Amino acid sequence: MTDTVLDIRNLRKVYRIRRGGQRHEVRAVDDISLAVRSGETLGIVGESGCGKSSLARAIMGLTRADGGEVHYDGSDLLTLDRRALARARLRIRMVFQDPYASLDPRRSIGDSVAEAGDIHGIFANRKDRADRVGEALDRVGLGARFADRFPHELSGGQRQRVGIARAILPEPDLVIADEPVSALDVSIQAQVLNLLGELKSRLGLTLMFISHDLSVVAKISDRVAVLYMGQIVEIAPARALFRDPRHPYTDLLIRAIPRPDPSSRIAGMIEPDEPPSRFSRLEGCPFHDRCPRRTELCATVAPVLREVEPERLVSCHHA
């Protein structure tokens, strides 16, 4: 039996918004249950606005969840007090999308990397602090000489390496990477992805990798969870999912991956139009208005996420 690092049960996050004189609810995370297994890279993928970042922020306690449970190391993170949650964040670290905005421009790179260790007193002395900061910077391919520099002196790729060094310094069990390469040039993206893969193997990390780019997710993930309108619609091993998608939304995403020859459009491809407004709650399957397989059942009855074969769960009446 594979060990579970993080066990998410029925997690919900609702944003309440006033618009046009009316109050609306946006279910950014809509009853998500998901297990993150030890040593794996779990890809989380979906269009912008599907709830990927809201899921990550709810797990980390950066935004307050409206229900559910997030179990780590025998505790529900959602019930921990502020101090206990801060200690848990030493073991579950996060790499953010914007490598510049996530660093304080007034702090040196060394101070930014050491910040969590300073707060929690994990360094034995100043020499230990300098050694561990230098080791973390070495591991991400920068070197200890970068410790005295400031964010504005680094390129985007170097700043993201600093973000990764900051995440791995406390020797975590799990790293949640939220769109960590989307702000980088394509050539730099490949370098950062390779770095994450190397660190995962060398340090025994578990990764949750969030992206809207399926080609990136395919490169790095062992399993993939596909999100749509705040819900998981398919979970499967990465190779199986890309070879044979079972949910029509997964099929849409894969077929919409840019191709070198634009004329090589796939016959019967679903047009990648805009998803429905998050201010309105649709009856039945949330994807039914865009789905070529829809029936009357899809418009009235919401499907449940069910196992259609070993290791594959799909939320579709016709999977």
135-173 pLDDT, tens digit per residue, is: 999 999 999 999 999 999 999 999 999 999 999 999 999
- Does the residue 120 lie in any domain? no
User: Above pLDDT 70, what percent of the chain?
Assistant: 92
261-308 pLDDT, tens digit per residue, is: 555 544 444 444 556 555 556 688 989 888 888 999 999 999 999 999
- For residue 215, pLDDT over 90 is answered with no
Write the DSSP string, 126-166: HHHHHHHHHHHHHHTTS-GGGGG--GGGS-HHHHHHHHHHH
- Alpha-carbon distances of 52 from 12, 126, 136, 153, rounded to whole Å: 12, 38, 28, 31
Provide the CATH number for the domain around residue 212.
3.40.50.300
The predicted model scores a pTM of 0.90
Structurally, how many domains does the chain consist of?
Answer: 1
- Structure tokens of 106? 């007034």
**Residue 112 carries which side chain, given as an amino acid letter?**
S
What range does the domain containing 82 cover? Answer: 4-91+174-179+205-314
- Does the residue 53 lie in any domain? yes
Question: Rounded mean pLDDT of 5-16?
Answer: 95
- Does the residue 24 lie in any domain? yes
Q: Which of 38-42, 114-118, 216-220, 276-280 has the lowest mean pLDDT?
A: 276-280
The closest of 133, 186, 179, 140 to 159, measured between CA atoms, is: 140
- Does the residue 150 lie in any domain? no
With 0-12 / 13-18 / 19 or more C-beta atoms within 10 angstroms meaning exposed / middle / buried, residue 207 is buried
CA distance 315 to 175: 27
- Does the residue 54 lie in any domain? yes
- Does the residue 117 lie in any domain? no
- Does the residue 308 lie in any domain? yes
pLDDT at 1: 43
- Does the residue 10 lie in any domain? yes
Type and span of the H or E element at 69: strand 67-72
pLDDT at 270: 45
